[in-house]
């Protein structure tokens, strides 16, 4: 691939590693492209954020293809993950420590699988306070880390499929197909409430965005290795 290819526009499917922010991935790829082709400026953006503790598919657009980002963002997404029943965290995942434990003796495999039915279709969902959504010019996580109370408005989202694939004690593996704007962390939190217990997300992997599939994604290292070297 040449510098003109990247400027005219490419769609890159990247398998985001654990602990990286989506912004860090974009920065790394932009820097690598500029260095490889000795160019001063290149547009690079992603079509949908993944949390640092999530892995999986990031659709990265370069050059003129960045104009298509909103189109890709609007497409349905698929995830696989694991939630833990019986405890909650403020961030709804493992970014923060467990803050409360709940009884789980009343749970059964049948109840756990049946509870998914409550979330199918269009539902109202409250984003986590530990999220990058802006309010009054600040990210919600900034309020959360400062210990400030803030009102969060619900969002209308759509869950097309929510399937439990394995139950191992309090660890529940699942697959979800959902609309843009869905927070799987919030889904895990709300799922715990629906079962009269607590829950938090312990693992998340995005597998699809529209027709783009994680099977066709490459690592950041592979992308950089395939660029021209000095």
Q: Supply the DSSP string of 116-135, one letter for each residue.
A: GGGGSEEEEEPPPSSS--EE
User: 150: closest CA among 176, 130, 165, 180?
Assistant: 130
- Going from the C-alpha of 142 to that of each of 44, 91, 105, 146, the distances in angstroms are 26, 12, 36, 6
Structure tokens at 212: 């783009």
3-class SS at 165? strand
Q: Residue holding tokens 């790829």?
A: 29
Would you please indicate which residues are annotated as catalytic (active-site) residues? 51
137, with CB counted inside 10 A (0-12, 13-18, 19+), is exposed
User: 148: closest CA among 160, 139, 161?
Assistant: 139
C-alpha angle with apex 160: 157 to 165, nearest 5 degrees?
A: 120
Query: What DSSP state is assigned to residue 219?
Result: -
């Amino acid at each position: 691939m040449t510098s003109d290819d990247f400027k005219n526009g490419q769609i890159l499917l990247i398998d985001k590693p654990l602990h990286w922010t989506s912004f860090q991935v974009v920065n790394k790829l932009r820097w690598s492209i500029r260095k490889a082709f000795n160019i001063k400026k290149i547009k690079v953006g992603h079509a949908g954020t993944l949390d640092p503790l999530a892995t999986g598919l990031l659709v990265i657009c370069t050059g003129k293809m960045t104009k298509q980002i909103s189109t890709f963002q609007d497409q349905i997404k698929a995830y696989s993950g694991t939630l833990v029943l019986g405890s909650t965290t403020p961030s709804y995942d493992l970014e923060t420590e467990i803050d409360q434990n709940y009884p789980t003796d009343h749970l059964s495999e049948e109840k756990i699988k049946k509870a998914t039915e409550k979330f199918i279709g269009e539902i109202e969902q409250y984003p986590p306070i530990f999220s990058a959504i802006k309010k009054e010019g600040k990210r919600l996580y900034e309020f959360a880390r400062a210990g400030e109370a803030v009102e969060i408005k619900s969002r209308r989202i759509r869950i097309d499929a929510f399937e439990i694939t394995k139950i191992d004690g309090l660890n529940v593996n699942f697959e979800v197909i959902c609309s843009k704007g869905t927070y799987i962390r919030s889904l895990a939190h709300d799922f715990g409430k629906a079962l009269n217990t607590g829950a938090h997300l312990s693992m998340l992997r995005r597998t699809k965005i529209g027709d783009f599939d994680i099977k066709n994604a490459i690592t950041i290292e592979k992308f950089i290795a395939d660029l021209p070297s000095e």
